[in-house]
Chains A and B, each alone.
Chain A
Amino acid sequence: MRKFLQKVATLITGDEPKARSQTSRARFTRRDLIRMESRIGGKLFGPVPKGHRREFFCLDRYTWVWYEEWVDPATHKRVSTTTRYEVHDNGVLKVQQGQPYRFVEGQELTNLVWAMHLYYEEVARQIYGYDPATGKPMALHAR
């Protein structure tokens, strides 16, 4: 009966009904979504060492962030490092505090693009319910 009503609604409005997961996401803010994404991103590089905190996320259309935090065994103080990757037309610029800007190249570039690829696939599937291969919602795609 529910499927029948959905079909009728589709014929009347011309829109596909939204999946349950999409409806429940409506209360999330943009910050919430990025926080959820970073949890997935932090696991892409393997196990996080004990006492470390790692985040990796896409900040906006052209900026990616890697944040790593840990306790310095010598001073027992928390230290952190933030690396920003800016995607430009002529390359990916790596920005770290206290370090000169430089373009990512070689193996580091290969690793970075692979991490972005995994991030995109996992986030698209797990958070937004999109099929990363087709770019369409998985609920609709499976129908």
Chain B
Amino acid sequence: MPNTISSTWQFPSGSEYGGPAAQAAAEQYTDMGTAPVAAELGVAPTPIREANPVAETPASPTPEMQTQYYTNTGDAIPTDRSVAVLDAMQRTVNAFDAETETAAQPAPTPEVPQDHNHDRAALERMKFYGPTLETMRDSAVGA
């Protein structure tokens, strides 16, 4: 026995090693982390999703499929009222998504204002130098 086999592994009674029964057993236990064993037995690992097709939600389910889904999952079959509530919730989510996408777009570049104040910081510095120098001059002349 390879040491990759789970300690819980047991062949169904009466099965033959590597025979059809073993393959069926391997398929049955693919959800037990025994995929390497299935490969060793010559059985391609089966995705868990395919092993339980009921759990999948088709893109456009038929009424029969929906009924089957709710029966298998045990969820409550939606009524018209609950469907309406869900639809309203979905519309709210869609609106939120649309708003978020709009907000994420870069803002348009503003035009340079006509009063040429695009470099306000530089202008403020310039307004500082002149008066300060004037004060120094006044101080020097009056000294």
- Report which A residues bind B (CB closer than 8 A): 18, 22-23, 25-26, 28-30, 33-34, 37, 58, 60-64, 87, 90-92, 103, 105, 109-110, 112-113, 116-117, 119-120, 123-124, 127-128, 130, 135
Additional 15 contacts, C-beta under 8 A, given A30-B137, A105-B116, A112-B126: A22-B140, A22-B143, A33-B140, A61-B134, A62-B127, A64-B130, A87-B126, A90-B116, A91-B116, A105-B118, A113-B125, A116-B125, A117-B125, A119-B129, A124-B136
The chain A residue with its CB closest to the CB of B134 is: A61
Interface string of B117-143 (1 = CB under 8 A from A): 111001101110111111011011101
CA separation between A46 and B68, bound complex, in Å?
87
Q: Are A91 and B115 in contact (CB under 8 A)?
A: yes
> A21 vs B6: C-alpha distance in the bound complex, in angstroms?
96
Main secondary structure of the interface of B (DSSP, over half): helix
With both chains docked as a complex, state the minimum distance between the C-beta of A6 and any C-beta of chain B, in angstroms: 17
Q: How far is the CB of A15 from chain B (nearest CB, A)?
A: 12
Q: Which of B115, B125, B130 contacts A58 (CB 8 A)?
A: B130
